[in-house]
Amino acid sequence: MATVKRSAGAAGATAGGSVDAVTVRAGGAQEHASAAESRMGMGTRMFTLYTTPLSANGRKVLAVCRHLGLDPEVKLINVYSGEGRTPAYLRIHPLGKIPTLVDGHLTVWESNAVLQFMVEAHGGNRLWSREAKGRAAIVRWLYWETAEWQPALVQVLTGFVARELGLVDGRTPVTLNWSDARFRTQAEFLELHLRGREYLALDELTIADFSVAAMMMYVRRAYFPFSEFPAIAAWYERIEALEAWRSTAVEPWTY
């Protein structure tokens, strides 16, 4: 979520959690590159991910890595405790946001652009499509996620997420307005699309599913009106059943 305020110390200790399942290494890049290359085959280039599984945008890239069996160097940046604002990190991403991927001289920010780069450059086009029409079917959901779905959910969830991360006084009242017009417009759109479908963009799992599911990691705890949206509920259960999804969950988002 983009708008949760930072507060020194909050939630920092939880950043590790089960994310070691996606291989967290703070060691030297060269050393890790050789190890990764020997595991992944000749010619596979190592990359570095700056991220945190505490956030939806951060977790989506970790889950896709896990699903594809990619083994990047992961540097955990807890943006909620100010780690995105250090001079060292601001040199990598001047906006201080995560996730950011660095591959040689290339730096990629924006989580959905990171997903696209990972599947093309490192994932053998799995969770992706080699056809222009297939790619268009996927990419429209990536844009929709950034432009419509995430902002709609942020509007409902910001106070709640801030409280759960310990960024605001625990006694601050939190309103979860699932009647919010902007949310309902987008949720009804998603619900209609998912009726009769297993996955969002194609007949198989793609990065569109990981992207759109990412913000859902907050909602089980936040009384999302699943009974009104049965197709969303069934689809999200399919995502939750994925090992890649489960293994990248950390407190407080572990249900």
Among 12, 96, 134, 166, binds ligand GSH (CB under 6 A): 96
27 or 94: CB nearest ligand GSH: 94
Listed ranges 32-40, 96-104, 119-127, 197-205: which one lies at the site for ligand GSH (CB under 6 A): 96-104
Among 84, 81, 80, 64, which residue's Cα sits nearest to residue 72? 64
Shortest distance in whole angstroms from residue 117 CB to ligand GSH: 12
When asked if residue 12 is in the footprint of ligand GSH (CB under 6 A), the reply is no
Q: Kindly provide the b/e burial profile for residues 20-50, where b requires at least 16 CB atoms within 10 angstroms of the residue's own CB.
A: ebbbbbeeeeeebbebbeeeeeeebebbbbb
Shortest distance in whole angstroms from residue 109 CB to ligand GSH: 6
When asked if residue 1 is in the footprint of ligand GSH (CB under 6 A), the reply is yes
36 or 207: CB nearest ligand GSH: 207
**Strands 48-51 and 73-76: what pairing?**
parallel
Bridge partners (DSSP) of residue 24 are 74
Q: Compute how many residues bind ligand GSH; rule: CB under 6 A.
A: 16
List phi, psi (to 5°) of 242: -70, 135
Collapsed DSSP state (helix, strand, coil) of residue 126? coil
Count CA atoms closer than 13 A to 129's CA, side-chain side.
16
When asked if residue 217 is in the footprint of ligand GSH (CB under 6 A), the reply is no
When asked if residue 64 is in the footprint of ligand GSH (CB under 6 A), the reply is no
- Report the amino acid identity of residue 67: H
Among 81, 111, 186, 248, binds ligand GSH (CB under 6 A): 111
Which residues of this protein are in contact with ligand GSH, per CB under 6 A? 1-2, 55-58, 79, 84, 96-99, 110-112, 146
